[in-house]
Amino acid sequence: MPESQHFDLTLKLELAAPRSAIWRAWRDGSLLQQWWTPAPVKTVSLRHDFRAGGAFATRMIMPDGAKIESEGCFVEVTPKSRIVFTDLMRGGWRPNPEGMFTASITLEDAGEGTLYSVRAMHRTAELSKNHADMGFEAGWTAAIRQLEALAQTLDPHSDD
């Protein structure tokens, strides 16, 4: 596909937390549910098999009590540097017909903090526009800032 036909949404943020703590907050499903969706939305981590081919599933609980479930597959998990996940597949590389995008997250050292880069890749311009209209930039920024705040409370030297 020519570069001009890519339907990506991107975001880069410098986080005042070490990369190891950011990684830990991603790796542990109980920590992920503390930051994954912007407050006041709550997240329940239903599955979090953090490895390539591993399944993830979450339930978002909206302020009005409505519940939205999503599931997907981790495509790449490179310790402390890259996470690729998609809702286009379920765990075990199985197709998911309701999927919308694939996300690539990279983590790089930025002084004592972390440069957190996101690329959300969509099959069509319409899906990309829908994701943008749902509040991609504001929502993901809020969630990543929650990740930053949580990571600041974690032991940066803990690799368990």
Which residue(s) pair with 65 in the sheet?
none
Inside any domain, residue 160: no
Give phi and psi for 54, each to the nearest 5. -75, 150
Residues of the chain with pLDDT under 70: 1-5, 159-160
Q: Let me know the angle formed at the C-alpha of 2 by 127 and 134, rounded to the nearest 5 degrees.
A: 15
What is residue 157's predicted lDDT score, i.e. its pLDDT?
A: 75
Inside any domain, residue 77: yes
Inside any domain, residue 47: yes
Which residue(s) pair with 60 in the sheet?
43, 68
What is residue 42's predicted lDDT score, i.e. its pLDDT?
A: 96
What is residue 119's predicted lDDT score, i.e. its pLDDT?
A: 97
Question: Which structural domain range is residue 79 located in?
Answer: 6-151
Give phi and psi for 146, each to the nearest 5. -65, -40
What is residue 1's predicted lDDT score, i.e. its pLDDT?
A: 46
Inside any domain, residue 95: yes
Inside any domain, residue 91: yes
Inside any domain, residue 40: yes
Inside any domain, residue 159: no
Domains in the chain, number? 1
What is residue 71's predicted lDDT score, i.e. its pLDDT?
A: 95
Inside any domain, residue 101: yes
State the angle between helix axes of 136-151 and 19-27 in degrees (0 to 180), rounded to the nearest 10: 110
CATH number of the CATH domain containing 98 = 3.30.530.20
What is residue 5's predicted lDDT score, i.e. its pLDDT?
A: 64
What is residue 3's predicted lDDT score, i.e. its pLDDT?
A: 53
- Cα separation, 73 vs 91, whole angstroms: 5
What is residue 148's predicted lDDT score, i.e. its pLDDT?
A: 98
- Cα separation, 80 vs 61, whole angstroms: 29
